[in-house]
Structure 1
Amino acid sequence: MLIGEVARRSGVSARMLRHYDTLGLVRPTGRTVGGYREYTPEDVRRILHVEGLRSLGLSLRQIARTLDDPGFSPAALVGDLIRKTEERLTRERELLDRLHAVDAAAPTGWEDVARIIELLHGLGSPHAARRQQAVLAPAEPVPAELLAEAVLTEADPNVAGALRWALARTGADGVASLASGMASEDVDIRRRTVLAIAELPGEEATAALTDALGDSDPAIRRQAALALGARGVTEAVPTLLTTVAEGPNDVEAAELLGTLARDADWTDRILDALVDRLGAPAADPAARRRLTQALGEMPGAAALPVLRRLAHDDDRPVALIASALVRKLS
């Protein structure tokens, strides 16, 4: 076949076929009497092979080396191509994320664009001090979307604290920006999210924290309950009781229960719940001591009868704690 027919059948232009010939990549097996290139079926198969490898992203030099290497391993080649493609996609995804971040900030001019890009570079620094500086340095508020994204991935406690502080300054926008974090399958991301929401004001944050009481992770439920208890939300009471019994944060949880118990409608409910847990057959000694200590945070008149009974408890540490509280409250 002459070059024109090969071009029609293979879809490769005559110009490219001549280039392949010049490189030695696909040389026609013969020539006509007039000197024209003449390709055999084997030559055409090689052309199609070359085009297939080009479609995978190989350069012509790589293709030549691959086809002429008797030790060529297709599996190794495909594996290398996968790795390089994944790296390229990662770079493009990072670029796309940066573009989305700039767009979400609604820049009004190139100065705004430059400011956001500088912030993104700072937040992406491998050095914690540089990331913290990037959060605290801007004179203008940082877009909530950028801060929320950084909060979800930041492991350094100092930087995370700065990010939560900055996010709290954005107000209600911060809650919406963190919504995806609470839906994450990664428990660490959900934990960072609930800590950030706990520092946000408003009803939306309270609603999000109330939803977090149903999370499968005990640490998330505990943090949500502590934040809700500080807001006076009584839905947190069952989790606060569990926190008192099991710890950690049992002292803080007890103080919050004491504050909530000042509401006359909740005094008896909370006190009865503490007593029930104290008398539960499965209650271990350490839990009973923490629960007894929590009674000292209850309104004195309500807690004294219970504490007087516990002053004669068979568990000596419980009895000692109760006796000390009776003296304090009497």
Structure 2
Amino acid sequence: MITPHEETRPHRVLHALEHSSSSVRLRAALEAGTTPDARFIGPLVERCAVEPEFPVREMLTWALTRHPAPLTVPVLVGEVRSRRPQARSQALHTLSKTADRSAWPVITPALLADPDDDVARSAWRAAVVLVPPGAERELAVLLATQLGRGTREVRLSLSRALIALGEPVLPVLDRATADPDPGVRAHALATERLWHDPDAGSEFAVEEAKRVVALGGEGPEGR
């Protein structure tokens, strides 16, 4: 028998997700994940699109991953097509946490090149998690079209995504080191250095790659 308290709990949680206090919203997301309920899924996804606080967004994502993937993934895939950048970014971030490869078709070349850096970075991370076995080389080629893009943090995100694809990325990076765009060459060289020596440090790898490009070479031996 369902008690009146059990009937009102979902309504209380959903109401708290809209509270002006971030600590109240955080606790509501925690409760939604601790005791999953299919009625929470839509509101959790919608809150991800507008939530201003990072810790709350992370808890919202965790709460969604606590629900069955067959229920959450279709909603998240639909959200990836939203016009709101934060909605797209958070949906992709959550899909990467579910690791459900049924969402792979939503990873399109246009999404990987999204003009919003946060969306693109989320797409890169999600793509690496969701890519089907055997499609890593194809994904590496698509990701390589973004080499040279954005700030150091954006470039480092792309480098990490490429490295996570494993050995299929190496021929792609090798070709990119001969790109006519010096920014692309520098980024490809920096990524290669991080691949071979992850402990070298991203800042060193980037600066060293820029130095090599400025000198007109392609590597320590000028390849």
TM-score where L is the length of structure 2: 0.71
Q: Which structure is richer in relative contact order (CA contacts within 8 A, separation 6 or more)?
A: 2
Note the C-alpha offset of 1:132: 0.6
SS in 1 for 2:110: coil
Note the C-alpha offset of 1:273: 2.9
Matched residues, percent identical? 19
Note the C-alpha offset of 1:322: 3.4
2:34 paired with 1:136: no
- Count of residue pairs brought into register by the alignment: 197
Q: In the aligned structure 2, how far is the partner of 1:135 from the partner of 1:313?
A: 49
Q: In the aligned structure 2, how far is the partner of 1:184 from the partner of 1:190?
A: 6
Structure 1 counterpart of 2:140 = 237
2:87 paired with 1:189: yes
Structure 2 counterpart of 1:203 = 101
Residue-by-residue CA offset, 1:200-224 (whole Å, 9 max, x unaligned):
232223333x24x433623334422
**CA RMSD of superposed structures (Å):** 3.3
2:177 paired with 1:278: yes
Note the C-alpha offset of 1:232: 5.2
Q: 1:323 to 1:171 in 2, by over 3 A?
A: farther
Q: 1:112 to 1:179 in 2, by over 3 A?
A: farther
Contact map agreement 1:148 1:178 (CA 8 A) in 2:
yes
Contact map agreement 1:225 1:239 (CA 8 A) in 2:
no
Structure 2: 5+ residue stretches without partners = 198-208
Q: 1:126 to 1:239 in 2, by over 3 A?
A: farther
Q: In the aligned structure 1, how far is the partner of 2:3 from the partner of 2:139?
A: 46
Q: In the aligned structure 2, how far is the partner of 1:178 from the partner of 1:261?
A: 27
Note the C-alpha offset of 1:108: 5.1
Question: What pairs with 1:114-263 in structure 2 (closer than 5 Å)?
Answer: 114-137=8-31, 139-142=34-37, 143-172=40-69, 173-208=71-106, 210-211=107-108, 213-215=109-111, 217-218=114-115, 219=117, 220-231=119-130, 233=132, 234=136, 235-247=138-150, 248-262=153-167
Note the C-alpha offset of 1:314: 6.3
2:192 corresponds to which of 272, 290, 295: 295
Q: 1:290 to 1:204 in 2, by over 3 A?
A: same
Q: In the aligned structure 1, how far is the partner of 2:144 from the partner of 2:21?
A: 40
Note the C-alpha offset of 1:231: 4.6
Contact map agreement 2:76 2:91 (CA 8 A) in 1:
yes
Q: In the aligned structure 2, how far is the partner of 1:187 from the partner of 1:238?
A: 24
Contact map agreement 1:147 1:167 (CA 8 A) in 2:
yes
Q: 1:201 to 1:271 in 2, by over 3 A?
A: closer
SS in 2 for 1:155: coil
Note the C-alpha offset of 1:313: 5.5
TM-score where L is the length of structure 1: 0.50
Q: In the aligned structure 2, how far is the partner of 1:291 from the partner of 1:246?
A: 11
Q: In the aligned structure 2, how far is the partner of 1:237 from the partner of 1:207?
A: 16
Q: 1:257 to 1:186 in 2, by over 3 A?
A: closer
SS in 2 for 1:199: helix
Residue-by-residue CA offset, 1:160-214 (whole Å, 9 max, x unaligned):
1110011011131211222432232233322222222222232223333x24x43
- Matched to 2:27, the amino acid is Q
Q: 1:236 to 1:154 in 2, by over 3 A?
A: farther
Question: What pairs with 1:38-187 in structure 2 (closer than 5 Å)?
Answer: 110-137=4-31, 139-142=34-37, 143-172=40-69, 173-187=71-85
Note the C-alpha offset of 1:280: 2.5
Instruction: Compare CA radii of gyration and give the structure with the larger one.
Output: 1
Q: In the aligned structure 1, how far is the partner of 2:85 from the partner of 2:163?
A: 30
Pick which of 147-156 and 236-245 moved more: 236-245
Contact map agreement 2:103 2:130 (CA 8 A) in 1:
no
